[in-house]
């Protein structure tokens, strides 16, 4: 039973795993991530890889929106920049994945800084609208720069070749994406134990006060945009190699809205929020479809009714979580841990 916080140093306060049980849980999760792929089929592996990509993109949005308070509706389009940078460099210039991946991150970060400039003048809803415009502009540009992106016809990319191995099967893709997702999440966890991360949080709480304390708003707001976009760029690069066929529609506004919704559902400003959010937006529709699928083998036409109904239930579930747990799923997770830590004195 855990009954107090008797820490005697700043270092002790900063440790990543505060209790042995936390470390154990993390090890268990990593072990599951290693074993599960050999147990499930290719379809579920595909979902797990997609989950990894979403986690990276949402973790980036979490840095921007959850920790720095800059609400963005452009993450889907930033992911598109990463994906198209990878595709253009790989197909047009023959760059290998170890080059396209970092270059996509850098390119997206730079463009993110450009679109982050309005954040220096506007906040809240106004900034949201500015990022929404960024989304529209980026997707429009991808569609119109036909000489570079092939426009609406899209662009195909060869599977990634790493250390002489062509990454084609779902299992191979998973073992590239999952460790990267874990690394990106750990990076964001660590970021908020640094000066930069604390500056982000100070800006989120009250940017004027942060500025009075000596935090440069220009520098840190743009840094937040750069890092958040860089995450999207990484997710986009993996997306390109994962799907091997890109069209501009894959990065439209609904993708950005989905990421923001996932972050809110998962829990903004928490390390695990993006993970829970991604799990929710991927697994809940899947589960609902699995339940609806129990009827269709016996009565195929039922799909005509169950398909729209599952969409409605999914929407209602999102609303339900926002009403009953506005702090997100990570708050439930925190409560569960609190319950375990303080058992049997928990009420």
Is 156 a binding residue for other proteins by CB under 8 A? The answer is yes
Cα 342 to Cα 52, 226, 265, 335, 345: the distances in Å are 32, 40, 26, 10, 6
Q: Which is nearer to other proteins, 325 or 341 (CB)?
A: 325
**Any idea what DSSP says for residue 134?**
H
Considering the rule CB under 8 A, would residue 307 count as an interface residue with other proteins? yes
Is residue 160 within 8 A of residue 241, CB to CB? The reply is yes
Q: Quick one: which segment of 99-107, 182-190, 262-270, 328-336 binds other proteins (CB under 8 A)?
A: 328-336
Find the shortest distance in angstroms from Cβ 270 to other proteins. 16
The DSSP string of 227-243 is HHHHHHHHHHHHHHHHH
CA–CA separation, 263 and 151 (whole Å) = 30
Residue 113 in contact with other proteins, rule: CB under 8 A: no
Residues in the interface with other proteins (CB under 8 A) total 49
* Pairwise CA distance, residues 66 & 260, whole Å: 10
Runs of H (alpha helix) within the chain: 10-13, 20-39, 42-61, 75-93, 97-116, 124-144, 146-149, 170-191, 195-205, 207-212, 217-243, 253-266, 273-292, 303-324, 329-342
25: contact with other proteins by CB under 8 A: no
Q: Which is nearer to other proteins, 21 or 307 (CB)?
A: 307
Axis-axis angle for helices 329-342, 273-292 (nearest 10): 110
Q: Does 187 bind other proteins (CB under 8 A)?
A: no
Minimum Å distance from CB 346 to other proteins?
11
Tokens 């023959």 belong to residue:
94
The binder of other proteins chosen from 13, 14, 205, 311 (CB under 8 A): 311
Residue span binding other proteins (CB under 8 A) among the ranges 70-78, 85-93, 123-131, 297-305: 297-305
> Where in 233-272 is the site for other proteins (CB under 8 A)?
243-245, 247, 249-250
Stretch that binds other proteins, among 59-67, 218-226, 259-267, 283-291 (CB under 8 A): 283-291
Restricted to residues 52-111, the positions that interact with other proteins (CB under 8 A) are none
Cβ closest to other proteins, residue 10 vs residue 147: 147
DSSP assignment of 27-39, as one string? HHHHHHHHHHHHH
314 binds other proteins (CB under 8 A): no
Count of Cβ atoms closer than 10 Å to residue 194 Cβ: 10
With binding defined as CB under 8 A, does residue 283 bind other proteins? Answer: yes
Q: Which three-class secondary structure state does DSSP give residue 123?
A: coil
Task: Return residues touching other proteins (CB under 8 A).
Answer: 39-44, 46-47, 50, 151-154, 156-157, 159, 168-170, 243-245, 247, 249-250, 283-284, 286-287, 289-291, 296, 300-301, 303-304, 307-308, 310-311, 317, 320-321, 324-325, 329, 332, 335
């Amino acid at each position: 039973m855990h009954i107090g916080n008797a820490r005697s140093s700043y270092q002790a306060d900063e440790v990543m795993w505060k209790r042995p049980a936390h470390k154990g849980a993390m090890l268990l999760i990593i072990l599951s991530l290693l074993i599960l792929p050999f147990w499930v089929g290719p379809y579920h592996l595909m979902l797990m890889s997609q989950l990894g990509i979403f986690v990276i993109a949402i973790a980036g949005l979490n840095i921007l929106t959850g920790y720095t308070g800059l609400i963005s509706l452009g993450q889907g389009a930033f992911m598109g920049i990463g994906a198209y940078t990878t595709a253009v460099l790989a197909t047009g210039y023959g760059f290998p994945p170890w080059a396209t991946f970092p270059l996509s991150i850098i390119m997206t970060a730079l463009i993110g800084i450009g679109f982050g400039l309005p954040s220096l003048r506007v906040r809240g809803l106004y900034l949201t609208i500015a990022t929404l415009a960024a989304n529209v502009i980026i997707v429009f540009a991808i569609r119109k720069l036909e000489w570079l992106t092939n426009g609406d016809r899209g662009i195909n990319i060869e599977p990634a070749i790493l250390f002489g191995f062509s990454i084609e099967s779902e299992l191979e893709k998973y073992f590239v994406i999952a460790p990267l997702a874990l690394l990106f999440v750990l990076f964001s966890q660590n970021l908020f134990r640094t000066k930069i991360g604390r500056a982000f949080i100070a800006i989120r709480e009250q940017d004027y006060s942060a500025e009075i304390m000596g935090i440069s708003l220009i520098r840190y707001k743009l840094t937040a945009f750069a890092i958040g976009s860089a995450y999207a760029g990484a997710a986009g690069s993996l997306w390109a190699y994962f799907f091997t066929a890109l069209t501009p529609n894959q990065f439209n506004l609904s993708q950005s809205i989905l990421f923001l919704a996932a972050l809110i559902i998962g829990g903004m400003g928490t390390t695990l929020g993006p993970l829970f959010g991604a799990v929710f937006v991927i697994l809940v529709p899947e589960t609902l479809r699995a339940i609806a699928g129990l009827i269709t083998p016996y009565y195929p036409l039922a799909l005509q009714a169950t398909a729209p109904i599952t969409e409605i239930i999914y929407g209602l579930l999102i609303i339900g979580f926002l009403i009953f747990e506005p702090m997100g799923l990570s708050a439930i997770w925190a409560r569960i841990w609190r319950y375990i830590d303080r058992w049997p004195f928990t009420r």
